[in-house]
Amino acid sequence: MIKLSGVEKIFGDGENAVVALAPVDVEIEQGAFITIVGPSGCGKSTLLRLIAELDSVSGGTIELGTTNKKRPVGFVFQDAVLLPWKTVAENIRFPLDTSGVPRSISDPKVEILIDLISLNGFENALPKQLSGGMRQRAAIARALADDPPILLMDEPFSAVDLMTRETLNDELLKIWQQTGKTILLVTHSIEEAAYLGTRVMVMSARPGRLRKTFDVDIPMPRSEDTKRDQKYLDLVHELRTMMREQGH
């Protein structure tokens, strides 16, 4: 689904050049849920932006096995960035409207997505009337509106409280299992990375390199019991040890 070959990113030039990403090589299979952790400033968010073509690579290539899709990637930012003058339903439908999809097709899709993210009854609410968690649910639905095979998420739950975050984690796993999307999620939470991912990618300090990848051998579906599973606890311990070794 996603293949990165020698991908580099350098900001600026000459003496002011900053190497954000050293060459990164990785292949991500279709339907995987990849979580990415690493020290602040190691290029985690930059990596997502390069895959989404929100920024251009300085070297190397990125291949997406989705050439038949107009929008192969959906992006969920740390801030929900909903349009404040549009309702929940209108925000979710926005990508479909910009693509010229008729309402006879887009309206049923929006209804399905609202049900998927459990915002029934809030279709006509404005973003200012929603909690932070609800706004992020709406942002996820908007990213899924035109059915991209890849969903990129840049610390989507960092601004919500712990209990809401845990609920959103479970809802995101439900969405992933129901839709079969390939998901890449950047997080600073080691526990979140271990709980959500089928693989965890650990980045090194800047310039960011892929230091190690862990295959997560914890069965789905996951629940509170997962957090008492010895495999989960061992993975969290190993991830935390690696981060501490990097002074983080």
- Same structural domain for residues 36 and 99? no
Same-domain pairing of 242 and 187 = yes
* Residue 11 sits in the same domain as residue 58: yes
Surface-to-core class of residue 181, CB atoms within 10 Å of its CB (0-12 exposed, 13-18 middle, 19+ buried): buried
Domain co-membership, 80 together with 94? yes
Task: Using the 3D structure, point to which of 147, 169, 196 is the last residue of a domain.
Answer: 147
| Residue that finishes a domain, picked among 97, 127, 147 | 147
Residues 31 and 137 in one domain: no
The pLDDT of residue 69 is 58
Residues 218 and 202 in one domain: yes
**Does one domain contain both 164 and 247?**
yes
What would the DSSP string read from start to end of 162-186?
A: HHHHHHHHHHHHHHHHHH--EEEEE
Give the orientation angle of helix 132-144 with respect to helix 103-116, to 10 degrees: 140
Q: Which of 147, 162, 185 is the last residue of a domain?
A: 147
How confident is the model at residue 159, as a pLDDT?
A: 86
Per-residue model confidence as pLDDT tens digits over 32-81: 999 999 998 899 999 999 999 999 999 999 999 865 556 689 999 999 99
Which domain covers residue 82, as residue numbers? 76-147
Q: So what's the pLDDT on residue 200?
A: 98
pTM of the full structure: 0.94
* Number of domains present in the structure of the chain: 2
The tens digit of pLDDT for each residue in 110-138 reads 999 999 999 999 999 999 999 999 999 99
Whole-number mean pLDDT of the chain? Answer: 93
Question: Are 10 and 50 found together in one domain?
Answer: yes
* pLDDT score for 56: 94
Q: Are residues 219 and 124 in the same domain?
A: no
